[in-house]
Structure 1
Amino acid sequence: MQAEPSRDDDEDMACEAAMASIRANGHHFKFNGHRNGQPFQSNLELRGAEGITMESIEWLWKDHLAHGKLSILAGDAGTGKTTLALSIAAYLSCGRQWPDGAPMTEPGTIVMWSGEDDIADTLLPRYVAMYGDRSRMCFVGAARDADGHHRPFDPASDLPLLAEAISQIPGRVSLLIIDPVVSAVAGDMHKSNDVRRALQPLVDLASSTGVAVIGVTHFTKNSRGSSPLHRVNGSQAFGAVARVVLVAGKEEDTGRRILARAKSNIGTDTGGMAYSIEQTEAAPGIPASFIRWGEQLEGSARELLGVIETEDDPEERGALTEAKTFLADLLADGPMAQREVMKNARGAGHSQRTIERAKAHLGVQAKRLDGVWKWGLP
Structure 2
Amino acid sequence: MSRGLAQIDQNSELELINASSIQPEPIDWLWPGWLARGKLHILAGAPSTGKTTLTLAMAAIITRGTAWPDGAPTAPGRVVIWSGEDDPADTLTPRLLAAGADTERVHFVGSVHEDNGARTFDPATDVGKLAEALAKLPEPPALLIVDPIVSAVAGDSHKNAETRRALAPLVNLAQLQGCALVGITHFTKGTAGREPLDRVTGSLAFGALARIVLVTARRPDDHPEGPARLLVRAKSNIGIDGGGVQYEIEETELALYPGLCTSLVRWGDPIEGTARSLLISAETLSDDGIETPTSAPEKTRAETWLRDFLSSGPLPSQQVIKEARREGISERTLHRARNALGVESVCTGFGKDRQSKWVMPKGTFSASVPAICQQN
TM tier, smaller: 0.7 to 0.9
Aligned twin of 2:217: 249
Residues 301 and 345 of structure 1: is their aligned pair in 2 closer, same or farther, counting only changes over 3 Å? closer
Partners of 1:42 and 1:304 lie apart in 2 by: 51
Q: Post-superposition shift, 1:155?
A: 0.2
Aligned twin of 1:18: none
Is contact 2:30–2:180 with CA below 8 Å preserved after alignment? Answer: yes
Q: Which amino acid aligns with 2:99?
A: M
Aligned twin of 2:54: 84
Residues 183 and 352 of structure 1: is their aligned pair in 2 closer, same or farther, counting only changes over 3 Å? same
* Residue in structure 1 matching 2:109, options 140, 147, 156: 140
RMSD (CA atoms): 3.4
Unaligned 5+ segments in structure 2 are 1-9, 286-290, 359-376
Is contact 2:280–2:331 with CA below 8 Å preserved after alignment? Answer: no
Aligned twin of 1:28: none
Residues 247 and 178 of structure 1: is their aligned pair in 2 closer, same or farther, counting only changes over 3 Å? same
Residues 41 and 153 of structure 1: is their aligned pair in 2 closer, same or farther, counting only changes over 3 Å? closer
TM-score (norm: length of structure 2) = 0.76
Q: Post-superposition shift, 1:45?
A: 2.4
Q: Does 1:221 align with 2:195?
A: no
Partners of 2:130 and 2:347 lie apart in 1 by: 41
Aligned twin of 1:7: none
Regions of 4+ moved over 4 Å:
312-320, 344-359, 361-368, 374-377
Is contact 2:232–2:243 with CA below 8 Å preserved after alignment? Answer: yes
* Residue in structure 2 matching 1:52, options 22, 37, 51: 22
Partners of 1:201 and 1:88 lie apart in 2 by: 24
Partners of 1:363 and 1:98 lie apart in 2 by: 31
* Residue in structure 1 matching 2:283, options 309, 312, 325: 309
Q: Which amino acid aligns with 1:235?
A: S
Q: Which amino acid aligns with 1:65?
A: L
Q: Post-superposition shift, 1:278?
A: 1.1
Q: Which amino acid aligns with 1:59?
A: W
Residues 155 and 90 of structure 1: is their aligned pair in 2 closer, same or farther, counting only changes over 3 Å? same
Is contact 2:65–2:77 with CA below 8 Å preserved after alignment? Answer: yes
SS at match of 2:137: coil
Q: Does 1:114 align with 2:83?
A: yes
Is contact 1:308–1:357 with CA below 8 Å preserved after alignment? Answer: no
Aligned twin of 1:282: 254
Partners of 2:338 and 2:252 lie apart in 1 by: 27
Q: Which amino acid aligns with 2:61?
A: Y
Is contact 1:307–1:357 with CA below 8 Å preserved after alignment? Answer: no
Q: Post-superposition shift, 1:251?
A: 2.5
Q: Post-superposition shift, 1:357?
A: 11
SS at match of 1:144: strand
Q: Does 1:61 align with 2:61?
A: no
Q: Does 1:291 align with 2:257?
A: no
Q: Which amino acid aligns with 2:98?
A: A
Partners of 1:292 and 1:357 lie apart in 2 by: 30
Q: Post-superposition shift, 1:341?
A: 5.1
Residues 296 and 366 of structure 1: is their aligned pair in 2 closer, same or farther, counting only changes over 3 Å? farther
Q: Post-superposition shift, 1:127?
A: 1.1
SS at match of 1:173: coil
Partners of 1:272 and 1:356 lie apart in 2 by: 23
Is contact 1:294–1:366 with CA below 8 Å preserved after alignment? Answer: no
Q: Does 1:124 align with 2:93?
A: yes
TM-score (norm: length of structure 1) = 0.76
State the Cα deviation string for residues 184-218 of structure 1 (Å, max 9, x = none): 00010011111000000011001111010000001
Q: Post-superposition shift, 1:49?
A: 1.7
Is contact 2:186–2:200 with CA below 8 Å preserved after alignment? Answer: yes
SS at match of 2:254: strand
Q: Which amino acid aligns with 2:73?
A: M
Q: Does 1:373 align with 2:351?
A: no
Partners of 1:127 and 1:365 lie apart in 2 by: 34
Partners of 1:202 and 1:106 lie apart in 2 by: 24
Q: Which segment is superposed worse, 236-245 or 132-141?
A: 132-141
Q: Which amino acid aligns with 1:262?
A: A
